Amino acid sequence: MALHPAIAQFNASIGFDIELIDYDLTGSQAHAKMLAQTGIITADEGEQLVQGLEQIRQEYRAGRFTPGIDAEDVHFAVERRLTELVGDVGKKLHTARSRNDQVGTDTRLYLRDQIQQIRQGVRDFQAVLLDLATHHVTTLIPGYTHLQRAQPISLAHHLLAYFEMAQRDWLRLGEIYQRVNMSPLGSGALAGTTFPIDRHYTAHLLKFGSVYENSLDGVSDRDFAIEFLCASSLIMVHLSRLSEEVILWASQEFGFVTLKDSCATGSSIMPQKKNPDVPELVRGKTGRVFGHLQGMLVLMKGLPLAYNKDLQEDKEALFDTVKTTKACLEAMTILFREGLEFKTARLKAAVSEDFSNATDVADYLAAKGVPFREAYNLVGKVVKTSLAANKLLNDLTIDEWKALHPAFEDDIYAAIAPEQVVSARNSFGGTGFDQIRRALESAQHRLASF
Give catalytic residues, as residue numbers.
Answer: 146, 267
Q: Report the candidate in 356, 429, 423 with the shortest Cα–Cα distance to residue 142.
A: 356
Residues interacting with ligand ARG, by CB under 6 A? Answer: 13, 17, 73, 99-100, 103, 307, 309, 311-312
Task: Please give the Cα distance from 107 to 224 (Å, whole number).
Answer: 10
Rounded CA separation 329/326 (Å): 5
Residues across the chain: 450
Name the amino acid, one letter, at 169: D
Q: Residue 167 Cβ, how far from ligand ARG at the closest point, in Å? A: 35
CA–CA–CA angle 405, 407, 412 (5° rounding) = 95
Q: Of the two residues 214 and 308, which places its CB atom closer to ligand ARG in the complex? A: 308
Q: What is the dihedral of CA 154, 159, 163, 165, to 10 degrees?
A: 100
Looking at the Cβ atoms of 17 and 19, the one nearer to ligand ARG is 17
Q: Which of 13, 21, 20, 3 is nearest to 68 (CA)?
A: 13
Q: Which is nearer to ligand ARG, 80 or 438 (CB)?
A: 80
**Kind of pairing, strands 182-183 and 257-259?**
unpaired
Minimum CB separation of residue 187 from ligand ARG in Å reads: 12
Amino acid at 327: A
DSSP 53-82: HHHHHHHHHTT-----GGG-SHHHHHHHHH
Closest C-alpha among 434, 441, 420 to residue 151:
420
Residue 296 CB, shortest distance to ligand ARG, in Å, is: 14
Q: Which is nearer to ligand ARG, 78 or 282 (CB)?
A: 78
Is the distance from CB of 137 to CB of 168 less than 8 angstroms?
no
Minimum distance, C-beta of residue 52 to ligand ARG, in the bound complex (Å) = 21
Nearer to ligand ARG among residue 97 and residue 157 (C-beta): 97
Q: How far is the CB of 88 from ligand ARG (least distance, A)?
A: 23
